[in-house]
Chains A and B, each alone.
Chain A
Amino acid sequence: QEIALGNNQKYILGGIEVTGIKSYSEQAVIAYTELRIGQEITLPGEDISRVINKLWGLGLFSDINFYVTNIEGNTVYLELNIQEVPSLNNVKVQGIKQKKIEPILKDTELKKGKKVTESFLTNTKNYLINKYKKEGYLNTKVHIITTPDTTESSAVNMLVNIDLGEKVKVQNIGFTGNDAISAKKLRKALKNTKKIVPGRFWKKSKYISEDFKEDLVSLIDYYKENGYRDARIIEDTLAYNNDNTIDIKIKLEEGNKYYFGDIRYIGNTVYSDRLLGQLLGIKKGDTYNGVLLKKRIDDPSKPDGENIANLYQNNGYLFSQINPVEVSAINDTINFEIRILEGKPAYFNKISVTGNEKTNDHVIYRELRTKPGQLYSKENIIRTIRELSQMQFFDPEQIVPKVENPDPNSGTVDIKYELAEKGSSQIELQGGYGGGGFIGTLGLSFNNFAIKDLFNKKAYKPVPMGDGQSLALRLQASRFFQTYSFSFAEPWMGGKEPVQFSVSLSHTKQFLYDYLTGNADKDRRFNISGITVGIAKRLRVPDDYFSLSQAVSYQHYNLKNYNTALFTFGDGFSNSLAYTIALSRNSSGPNPIYPLGGNDFTITAKLSPPYSLLDNTDYKGLAEERKDAVENNDTDKIAQIDQQRFKWLEYYKVKFKGNWYTNLVDKLVLKTGVELGYLGAYNNHRGVIPFERFFVGGDGLGNYTLDGRENIQLRGYPNQSLSDNDGSIIYNKFSMELRYPLTLKQTASIYGLAFLEGGGAYNNFKNYNPFELQRSAGLGLRIFMPAFGLLGIDFGYGFDPIPGSTQPNGWETHFIIGQQF
């Protein structure tokens, strides 16, 4: 029955009947349309097409039709006829290994409930064929068979049949037309397409058409680099052999070899021809090399490279353009003009930051090296990225500087830094065996704390954050000791200049190890309480990677019946007041977890006041008295004298530590390190103190720094094994470490390392011999996760015997926790 419809006439919707449904209920489909019985509807009109679009958008139906079934007065009745798209029930994949099926199902989204449309089938098939082509299976055939599922309505089962065929290998690659360059060299230039060479397992022979196309481009580039700028490929042919291999034939035309002629600079007003010529580094008569010429002018792969474009870009000439133009060719000599459009120098205008969801603006803006009103400099943008990474609040891999609104007329440009916050708090909760027993540690460190919000309830999400301050609390306890420490640092005290203020407090209780029972003797203890206040300032000279830090520290040591070889005054006390000054330079980066280049070094001097100069005590006499007492075995007398000597600790300590990072190839980095330390006395009769000493060997973790001791890492030997029980006063260490990253993601950075190191510990200058080292080598792995800090394991082999032994020390396993360098 034909029903006449008026033009855009309004009706009341009287009812909808849904036909063609298999698995959906009528109610559900009507709900999808969002049409309501009784509503006003215009026919024909937008209402219906909107509903159809909406239903299409769901992707559940393969055909949608509306029919008018009846009109009564101004009430209209509709029929909605739909065809459901079948959904996928079971998938079976044949023809490939079982464990390879899972990733394929994931990539192609072949899972239960997926709507099986024609285009989905075609896409899946093409995806699979291309995937295997890329792996060298040129003859891959894919068949997808769908059969209706009998258990469920409107569902299908799918069988994916993959016939990989044989992997196609390249038997031979031949060249014709190559007179000047040998076929062997040309084959080398084809980076991805290799012919079969027995025994070469690291680069298997395969042919992938896309890669081969790339290779042909690099083949021509290879010619261009050697002066043959007219070289071209006339044709390349593939021939299939019977044994499932192919032969590739490349016919080419070399053309003539060319040389650079005159190079003239045009348009340069800021820099002289001579300076530009030096930077270009190409002389008249050199073999023509178009690739090199381009690189010396601009090399996008090296943002901080030394080339002409960067010379301009780093000095404000954002709008500069540099074009090399061949002006004439005489025989085999090509003359060039380097045409330079310098443009107006550009100045930074608006500098903004987004993505700082926790960190306050002022913490970020003060670190930016690009400032409004300053001359544009690409170098400063790169430096800013480094500084932002160094703060540890943002994911270094996600810092994006966006150049916005470059305006050549006003000579201004805006920069927007897009950042992504990363977790900068660490919780350390660990238990482990060490130092003869169980050690439990609870550590909290917040690296982006905001102390001003300490009493602001709203700021606790979960702790007040965003002012760039660091706050750390650490409790550590075992049967033998307990340590409590607290530290706080504000990197920009007063907000005017980068002067870091820090304060730390600590308290340690150490019980004597009872050799008979193997337990702690709680009646005999050694308490240390200390406070350190320091400031550190970034310097501008010699360059702004330097910083100078100064600190004053005070420690009080209190012994109760705690006699050891060193502590002869078992019931005494000791005070240490010292001033530390350190000069350091840190240019390693850009990612502080995995530096690719730069270096960091620190030279430190720690000094106590020279009491012996001031207190008019005859230390020479005292030393002789002590000698007598030792001869007489008069321990009380020794204790009395030592108490006098160490009531106030008098010493000086100098240290040097340096690391150099060299990026060898790709992301392989060589870290070279040197460390030296010396603890001395102003007055030889008063003697070197039993505190503050060096303990060389092992993992070097600073868990056990009770008497100011420093644990020096030297892998391949047990902890502290290379020093005496009392510690050493001189040490040095040299190391080389090769590192290669497995992943440098935000969630976890993982790298492997191989090391070679040697170090030595000495009790006095007479024994000191920097070449008499305990050597070791080994392998290790580091995992850095923002929430846990650094975790690592090293296996080291000690080539030399430890003191008191004659055999090489052999293998040691070290667990590294929380130590970064």
Chain B
Amino acid sequence: NEYQKVLKSEDAKLKYDLAEKFYNEGDFRRANRLFEQIAPQYIGKPQGERIIFMYANSFYQIRDYYTGGYQFERFAKSYPRSEKVEEAAFLAAKCLYLSSPKYSIDQTETHKAIEKLQLYINQYPTSENLPEANKMAQELSEKLQRKEYEIAKQYNTTRNYESSVTSFNNFLLDFPGSIYREDAMFYRFDSAYRLAINSVSYKIEERLLEAEGHYNNLKKYYPQTKYADKADAMKAEIEEQLKTVTSK
């Protein structure tokens, strides 16, 4: 068919026309194959700007976000004066956002995406894409919060209560406005409580008091906390224990 013929032909113009036709019809996979062949020849030529943009966008459309992000970025660097540069910068950042993996594995891509989004937000503060960019940055930040929160909580699950308290302390310092703040405060208290009641005798009082402090913190910021029942029962137990410790 025509596509196969043009794919094998040497005529760049023919490929360009057909690629653009596919591109406009929404057949990005075929357009991508053709652009791939001609893009190097058009770099530096007047049509280059259009071609590179469509080439990058075709990656984005076929969901190869990794290459797409790279190509958009290259476009933005090569044609800083292009009128499409803002769109390219946005799509480059969005590609990174889309290639950010699930929270529970390495987050190098997520950090890169947040950085790129922040750069975009700073550079184009009046852009119409701003709400979407903000939303994506927010979502990625929450992903990082989830990661740290789950790690700290795992220390609680595996009964490494001391490590859990340390990790939740770090978590609350690093993400003061986190959506997991209430949960983190509760599990910090939970860990401290369990550390205290299973403690060796010479450290028990100190640890009970520390746990009590974490309880007070939770109640201060979240008086109506969803963990109230559990937390109050644990607090009562702490008071009970403190009585016996101090009476000795």
- State whether A371 touches B155 (Cβ < 8 A): yes
Which residues 151-174 in B have Cβ within 8 Å of A in the complex? 151, 154-155, 157-160, 162-163, 165-167, 170
Smallest distance from the beta carbon of A206 to chain B beta carbons, Å?
Answer: 47
CA separation between A355 and B43, bound complex, in Å? 35
CA separation between A349 and B165, bound complex, in Å? 11
B105 partner, pick from A30, A360, A366, beta carbons under 8 A: A360
Q: Which residues of the other chain, B, contact A397 by a CB distance below 8 angstroms? A: none
* A356: Cβ under 8 A from any B Cβ: yes
* B45: Cβ under 8 A from any A Cβ: yes
- State whether B166 touches A372 (Cβ < 8 A): yes
* A373: Cβ under 8 A from any B Cβ: yes
- State whether A372 touches B170 (Cβ < 8 A): yes
- State whether A31 touches B105 (Cβ < 8 A): no
- State whether A30 touches B154 (Cβ < 8 A): no
CA separation between A209 and B159, bound complex, in Å? 60
- State whether A359 touches B105 (Cβ < 8 A): yes
Which residues 19-46 in B have Cβ within 8 Å of A in the complex? 43-46
* A152: Cβ under 8 A from any B Cβ: no
- State whether A365 touches B44 (Cβ < 8 A): no
Q: Which residues of the other chain, A, contact B167 by a CB distance below 8 angstroms? A: 350, 372-373
- State whether B170 touches A36 (Cβ < 8 A): no
Which residues 366-382 in A have Cβ within 8 Å of B in the complex? 366, 371-374
Q: Mark A345-358, 1 if CB is under 8 A from B, else 0.
A: 00101100111111
- State whether B106 touches A34 (Cβ < 8 A): no
Name the CB-closest residue of B to A357.
B106
Which residues 167-206 in B have Cβ within 8 Å of A in the complex? 167, 170
Q: Which residues of the other chain, B, contact A366 by a CB distance below 8 angstroms? A: 154, 158
CA separation between A240 and B46, bound complex, in Å? 68
Smallest distance from the beta carbon of B179 to chain A beta carbons, Å?
Answer: 19
Smallest distance from the beta carbon of A72 to chain B beta carbons, Å?
Answer: 23
- State whether A356 touches B105 (Cβ < 8 A): yes
Q: Mark B97-132, 1 if CB is under 8 A from A, else 0.
A: 000010011101000000000000000000000000
Smallest distance from the beta carbon of B247 to chain A beta carbons, Å?
Answer: 30
* B150: Cβ under 8 A from any A Cβ: yes
A372 partner, pick from B43, B105, B163, beta carbons under 8 A: B163
Q: Which residues of the other chain, A, contact B44 by a CB distance below 8 angstroms? A: 28, 30-32, 34
Please count how many residues in chain B sit with their CB below 8 Å of the partner chain's CB atoms. 25
* B74: Cβ under 8 A from any A Cβ: no
CA separation between A495 and B151, bound complex, in Å? 12
Which interface class (under 10, 10 to 19, 20 to 34, 35 or more) fits A? Answer: 20 to 34
Name the CB-closest residue of A to B159.
A496
* B147: Cβ under 8 A from any A Cβ: yes
Q: Which residues of the other chain, A, contact B43 by a CB distance below 8 angstroms? A: 31
Smallest distance from the beta carbon of B79 to chain A beta carbons, Å?
Answer: 9
Smallest distance from the beta carbon of A800 to chain B beta carbons, Å?
Answer: 53
Name the CB-closest residue of B to A465.
B105
* A111: Cβ under 8 A from any B Cβ: no
Which residues 300-352 in A have Cβ within 8 Å of B in the complex? 347, 349-350
Smallest distance from the beta carbon of A59 to chain B beta carbons, Å?
Answer: 17
The answer to whether A372 and B155 touch (CB under 8 A), given A355-B106, A358-B105, A466-B104, is: yes
- State whether B170 touches A349 (Cβ < 8 A): yes
* A362: Cβ under 8 A from any B Cβ: yes
Q: Which residues of the other chain, B, contact A357 by a CB distance below 8 angstroms? A: 101, 105-106
CB within 8 Å: A-B pair count: 69
* A497: Cβ under 8 A from any B Cβ: yes
CA separation between A30 and B105, bound complex, in Å? 46
CA separation between A355 and B101, bound complex, in Å? 12
- State whether B165 touches A362 (Cβ < 8 A): no
Which of B151, B155, B165 neighbours the largest number of chain A CB atoms within 10 Å of its CB? B151
- State whether B157 touches A361 (Cβ < 8 A): no
- State whether A354 touches B106 (Cβ < 8 A): yes
Q: Which residues of the other chain, B, contact A496 by a CB distance below 8 angstroms? A: 157-159
Q: Mark A405-429, 1 if CB is under 8 A from B, else 0.
A: 0000000000000000000000000
- State whether B151 touches A365 (Cβ < 8 A): yes
Name the CB-closest residue of A to B78.
A34
Name the CB-closest residue of A to B174.
A350
Name the CB-closest residue of A to B170.
A350
Q: Which residues of the other chain, A, contact B151 by a CB distance below 8 angstroms? A: 361-362, 365
Smallest distance from the beta carbon of B158 to chain A beta carbons, Å?
Answer: 6
- State whether A371 touches B163 (Cβ < 8 A): yes
- State whether B45 touches A31 (Cβ < 8 A): yes
- State whether A374 touches B106 (Cβ < 8 A): no
Smallest distance from the beta carbon of A15 to chain B beta carbons, Å?
Answer: 15
Q: Which residues of the other chain, A, contact B157 by a CB distance below 8 angstroms? A: 495-496
Smallest distance from the beta carbon of A444 to chain B beta carbons, Å?
Answer: 23
Smallest distance from the beta carbon of A38 to chain B beta carbons, Å?
Answer: 10
CA separation between A361 and B151, bound complex, in Å? 7
- State whether A373 touches B104 (Cβ < 8 A): no
The answer to whether A466 and B105 touch (CB under 8 A), given A30-B44, A34-B44, A372-B163, is: yes
- State whether B104 touches A362 (Cβ < 8 A): yes
Q: Which residues of the other chain, B, contact A27 by a CB distance below 8 angstroms? A: 45
Q: Which residues of the other chain, A, contact B163 by a CB distance below 8 angstroms? A: 371-374
Q: Which residues of the other chain, A, contact B147 by a CB distance below 8 angstroms? A: 361
Smallest distance from the beta carbon of A27 to chain B beta carbons, Å?
Answer: 8
Q: Which residues of the other chain, B, contact A356 by a CB distance below 8 angstroms? A: 105-106
- State whether B46 touches A36 (Cβ < 8 A): yes
Smallest distance from the beta carbon of B110 to chain A beta carbons, Å?
Answer: 12
- State whether A373 touches B158 (Cβ < 8 A): no
The answer to whether A354 and B155 touch (CB under 8 A), given A31-B43, A31-B44, A32-B44, is: no
- State whether B162 touches A360 (Cβ < 8 A): no
CA separation between A466 and B105, bound complex, in Å? 9
CA separation between A374 and B160, bound complex, in Å? 10
- State whether A374 touches B162 (Cβ < 8 A): yes
Smallest distance from the beta carbon of B203 to chain A beta carbons, Å?
Answer: 13
CA separation between A249 and B106, bound complex, in Å? 59
Which of B105, B106, B157, B163 neighbours the largest number of chain A CB atoms within 10 Å of its CB? B105
Which of A27, A357, A371 neighbours the largest number of chain B CB atoms within 10 Å of its CB? A371
Q: Which residues of the other chain, B, contact A374 by a CB distance below 8 angstroms? A: 162-163
Smallest distance from the beta carbon of B111 to chain A beta carbons, Å?
Answer: 10
Q: Which residues of the other chain, B, contact A28 by a CB distance below 8 angstroms? A: 44
- State whether B106 touches A371 (Cβ < 8 A): no
CA separation between A354 and B147, bound complex, in Å? 12
CA separation between A75 and B166, bound complex, in Å? 68
- State whether B108 touches A354 (Cβ < 8 A): yes
- State whether B46 touches A361 (Cβ < 8 A): no
Name the CB-closest residue of B to A419.
B106
- State whether B154 touches A365 (Cβ < 8 A): yes
Smallest distance from the beta carbon of A821 to chain B beta carbons, Å?
Answer: 30
Q: Which residues of the other chain, A, contact B106 by a CB distance below 8 angstroms? A: 353-357
Which residues 647-706 in A have Cβ within 8 Å of B in the complex? none
CA separation between A361 and B105, bound complex, in Å? 6
Q: Which residues of the other chain, B, contact A359 by a CB distance below 8 angstroms? A: 105
CA separation between A412 and B162, bound complex, in Å? 15
Q: Which residues of the other chain, B, contact A353 by a CB distance below 8 angstroms? A: 106
Q: Which residues of the other chain, B, contact A355 by a CB distance below 8 angstroms? A: 106
- State whether A373 touches B105 (Cβ < 8 A): no
A495 partner, pick from B158, B162, B170, beta carbons under 8 A: B158
CA separation between A358 and B101, bound complex, in Å? 10
CA separation between A32 and B162, bound complex, in Å? 61
CA separation between A347 and B44, bound complex, in Å? 57
B166 partner, pick from A34, A349, A361, A365, beta carbons under 8 A: A349
Q: Which residues of the other chain, B, contact A32 by a CB distance below 8 angstroms? A: 44
CA separation between A359 and B162, bound complex, in Å? 25
- State whether A371 touches B160 (Cβ < 8 A): yes
The 5 closest A-B pairs by CB, nearest first: A31-B44, A373-B166, A372-B166, A371-B163, A360-B104
A-B contact pairs, 24 of them (CB 8 A): A27-B45, A30-B44, A31-B45, A34-B78, A36-B46, A353-B106, A354-B106, A355-B106, A356-B106, A357-B105, A359-B105, A360-B104, A365-B154, A371-B162, A372-B166, A372-B167, A372-B170, A373-B162, A373-B163, A373-B166, A374-B162, A466-B104, A466-B105, A496-B158
Extra 7 A-B pairs, beta carbons < 8 Å, given A371-B160, A495-B154, A495-B157: A350-B167, A354-B106, A355-B106, A357-B106, A365-B151, A366-B158, A466-B104
